[in-house]
Structure 1
Amino acid sequence: MRRVLCPVENIYVAQRSRAILSCALHGPVDPAVLSAAFEAVTAEQPQLRTRIVPDGDGHALEFLPEAERPRLRVRAGGEEVHGEELNTPLTVGGPLTRAVLVTDPDEERHTLFLSIDHVIADGHSAVALLNTVWDRYRELIGGVSAPLPPVAEFPEPISALLPHSDAADTAKYLERRVEKVGRHPAELVPYDVKSTEEVPGEPHRIEVRRLLLDTDQTARLRERARAEGVSVHSLISAAVLLAARRRLDGPDPRLLGCLSPVDLRSRLSPPVSAAVMIAAVTMHLQVLPVGEETDVLELAREVGDGLRDFLDRGDHFQEIRIMPSTPLHPTLHLGTVIVTNMGPVPGPRLPEGTRVTDVRLAPARENYFPQAGRSPIMACVATFDGRLAIEFPHHTACFSRPFMRELGDEVHTSLLALAKSDGELHPAATV
């Protein structure tokens, strides 16, 4: 059985991008039961039992043979496994997810890693998958073992769920967008690493610089955003835009683009649950003049107003309709910064005696093109258990560790200045 990918899903095939979730735990974990839980969830989600195959001019999902379906792998290890998962692609023509449990039974410390191809999932459905695996685990530990029958019916792609639109209106919208980005292209931040540079004995690789706020700092940042009449997303976007601007020469304002992925699930009628594993995201690109002295709150209001107007006009639906045109018009979604924001996200519920110590969500892809000389800076934002985290994925052949460390520290300092409740800033906590 096959399910042909829609034009939007075919775009993700070429990108070879994936979401990587890690869930760190303390307490007892039974690997055999967790393996059974993962297989049960795999049976409930047909996409998890498929691979991508050519189909005419596009691609399709095709069920894997039973022996090739994803299974939980259990291994020993430590923090280094996060980097290994970032740098281990999903096999071309193989399963679209990978599950690895890294365990230290003596210390009762464990980390579950899930890698999920963006063809079949966005951030919300990736988190829902993680939580569902732990729900099944909790049920099995509690003695609920009745298996559900495998599901064979694929959910409809997001492009099939959009409200009706006249094709001529969509064509005009695309024409306006192409003309606008042609007149006002966003500048990109140059790489600080030459494509020919290599560290002796240390090949280039994908890494993530992490910025983390504690629960008190996160709460105060949210309070500040409400007081100023802006969103937390706008504040973070402004802070990242200003950090990017400091890495461009000259005193004059520069045109910088903020690309904000927009979740469509809650905006469809009827809404689509996060448990439905599809990519349900569109993009909003806003190009703004940003100077060295631009005020972060003023910039946040501009970002927020632009995104609000975009949604009020219903352009988020038109934007996903034109997404298949991106290969012909790559600047349609080319921003100086890409700032995702999952908002507050529920974490896994575990059996009594086992607790979550950390949850992370970071994107990765296979190609970073250091030969291009410049690219967007990506910030992946999520708030688990009241702690806001920003993950800055990068490739060391493009942006160096010191570059990303300094940029992350600047963003962290800006956010803490907005969130401070007294006259002192807290020390940076990027890792």
Structure 2
Amino acid sequence: MTARPLSPFESGYFAADARLGSVPVGGMPLFIGTAVRGKVDEHILRRVLGELAAGHVLLRSRVDTVGGVARFVAGEPVMPTLTVREGGVDEYWELVNSPQDWAAGLFRAVLLRGVRESRIVLVIHHGISDGRSAFALLEEMWRRYAAHAAGTEPPLHDSDDALLGGVDELLAAVVGEAEVDGFLAHLAQEIAEASPADAPHTMPHDGDGVGDAGGRLALRRIELSPGQTAELVEVARGRGISVNSVLAGAALAAVRGELAGDGPIPLMCGHAADLRPDLSPPVPVSTILNCASGAGTPALVDRDADPLAVGAVVDATMRVLRESRFPALFMRAAQRPLAPQVAAMLSQPPAIALSNMGRLPAHPMPDGLEFVRDEVFAMAAGMPPKMTIFTVGGRLTVQVEYDTAEHSHTRMGRVAEAMSDRLARVTRVAVRG
């Protein structure tokens, strides 16, 4: 048996009402999986789930509290729970809107067998994994499944079996206390110099709590074709900015349409930030560990703003934030007692947030199964609206995610339509060019 205390950052994910910045994180589950056509072999899937738990120590861990100290405890590999039942889209939404019981472990799976397609859903406690390592786990699941379906035996251990410390503790080796002091002093100076007119706006709250399949958490999905995805990449390259910045510009332009008034107004785009590159040595993305921090990029956005122009502003700000190591410093600072003004600044909700997983390879699909789409969801009640973005096999997906108690289906449906429209305009620019 191996064990270690939860780090302060990880502890928040296991505490009620905890927040990271503006995001409520206490007890948050992370759902990730794949919809396929064809019959999923339940016996192969069970075997693969056992191999995943054997190769990733946090997947076979539980949280115990001894003497008031919460700690991860990992014993011998165990078979994660697999629930198999009939179900389609409605049953999926019932699942992601249901409270999760983590007493039996921090990792399990659900297989929903539908009439036209089935869904494999991995259910992971967000305290042990971020989206990037969850996608790596999903890719490993399919690689192992395809190997078993073809009659071959993949290596049992090809990932992590050491119980690493939390990312905030690992950061302490590369981000010193003096740097955190300077970071907080800089924020205090920015607050002192700020004008009330600079405060970013957010969308009006008009939620009624009526979501999909009876739950309050919902999403609207935008799927680009491989051709549109390639065009979007070319546009970004032609402008010398990242694809993420183009998407952020389009998102802010889409949100601006929901705000009253003429002329440019200040908006903030939130971004999930991967801390792995800041660590020494870097932690591989295949290692199950929550390494997610955040950053925000303010921009003045007009009602008819050009997404590429707004994206250029976002890109320039993101470069500064990366060079100054803002996400790492934010993570370290969040573990300290903060002055009320600084705490308020760091917890200010964005108008929209982006969680971009980047470009991912297509899954190896065994004979008899046809890939439909990947699906990921990590939301909590009261969370600001966000867009989860990923590109699998050359096809980009944008999930517009929200809490219907905060923002209505009608409003967020308009945001999704506006986002889709602005991305279509951007790709048409590429076609004409």
> Is contact 2:258-2:411 (8 Å) kept?
no
- Where 1:376 maps in the other structure, the secondary structure is coil
For residues 205-244 of structure 1, what are the structure 2 equivalents within 5 Å? 205-244=216-255
Which residue does 2:143 correspond to in 1?
135
- Where 2:136 maps in the other structure, the secondary structure is helix
Q: 1:190 aligned to 2:204?
A: yes
Q: 1:172 aligned to 2:182?
A: yes
> Is contact 1:382-1:390 (8 Å) kept?
yes
For residues 347-426 of structure 1, what are the structure 2 equivalents within 5 Å? 347-365=362-380, 367-368=381-382, 376-420=384-428
- Where 1:324 maps in the other structure, the secondary structure is coil
> Is contact 1:90-1:97 (8 Å) kept?
no
- AA in 2 matched with 1:84: E
Q: Distance in 2 between matches of 1:273 and 1:293?
A: 42
Which residue does 1:117 correspond to in 2?
125
Q: Distance in 1 between matches of 2:318 and 2:176?
A: 23
For each residue in 1:343-394, what CA deviation from the matched residue of structure 2 results, as whole angstroms up to 9, or x when unmatched?
11124223234232211222222x32xxxxxx73211111111111111121
> Is contact 1:159-1:321 (8 Å) kept?
yes
- Where 2:378 maps in the other structure, the secondary structure is strand
- AA in 2 matched with 1:88: S
- AA in 1 matched with 2:110: V
Q: 1:338 aligned to 2:376?
A: no
Distance 1:249 1:230, change over 3 A: same
> Is contact 1:43-1:151 (8 Å) kept?
no
Q: Distance in 1 between matches of 2:409 and 2:337?
A: 31
- Where 1:380 maps in the other structure, the secondary structure is strand
Shift of 1:79: 1.9
Shift of 1:190: 1.7
Q: Distance in 2 between matches of 1:55 and 1:127?
A: 33
Q: 1:88 aligned to 2:98?
A: yes
Shift of 1:58: 6.0
> Is contact 1:204-1:397 (8 Å) kept?
no
Structure 1 stretch displaced more, 380-389 or 6-15: 6-15
- AA in 1 matched with 2:95: E
- Where 2:271 maps in the other structure, the secondary structure is strand
Q: Distance in 1 between matches of 2:273 and 2:76?
A: 35
Q: CA RMSD in A?
A: 3.0
Q: Distance in 1 between matches of 2:77 and 2:232?
A: 48
Which residue does 1:428 correspond to in 2?
none
Which residue does 1:306 correspond to in 2?
317
Q: Distance in 2 between matches of 1:151 and 1:385?
A: 26
> Is contact 1:10-1:58 (8 Å) kept?
no
Q: Distance in 1 between matches of 2:190 and 2:362?
A: 40
Shift of 1:307: 0.4
Which residue does 2:21 correspond to in 1?
none
Structure 1 stretch displaced more, 329-338 or 37-46: 329-338
- Where 1:282 maps in the other structure, the secondary structure is strand
> Is contact 1:337-1:376 (8 Å) kept?
yes
Which residue does 1:70 correspond to in 2?
80
> Is contact 1:241-1:256 (8 Å) kept?
yes
- AA in 1 matched with 2:364: R
For each residue in 1:94-128, what CA deviation from the matched residue of structure 2 results, as whole angstroms up to 9, or x when unmatched?
42223111225x86x32101122211111111011
Distance 1:84 1:228, change over 3 A: same
Match of 1:155 among 156, 159, 164: 164
Structure 1 stretch displaced more, 74-83 or 407-416: 74-83
Alignment coverage as a number of residue pairs: 411
For each residue in 1:46-85, what CA deviation from the matched residue of structure 2 results, as whole angstroms up to 9, or x when unmatched?
2112233446676322348988x63222111122222122
Q: Distance in 2 between matches of 1:185 and 1:102?
A: 45
- Where 1:161 maps in the other structure, the secondary structure is helix
Distance 1:225 1:145, change over 3 A: closer
> Is contact 1:341-1:382 (8 Å) kept?
yes
Distance 1:180 1:422, change over 3 A: closer
Give TM-score scaled by structure 2 length.
Answer: 0.85
Which residue does 1:296 correspond to in 2?
307
Which residue does 1:79 correspond to in 2?
89
- AA in 2 matched with 1:8: F
For each residue in 1:211-254, what CA deviation from the matched residue of structure 2 results, as whole angstroms up to 9, or x when unmatched?
11111111111111111111111111111112222222222432
Shift of 1:23: 0.4
Q: Distance in 2 between matches of 1:421 and 1:307?
A: 24
> Is contact 2:245-2:312 (8 Å) kept?
yes
- AA in 2 matched with 1:85: L
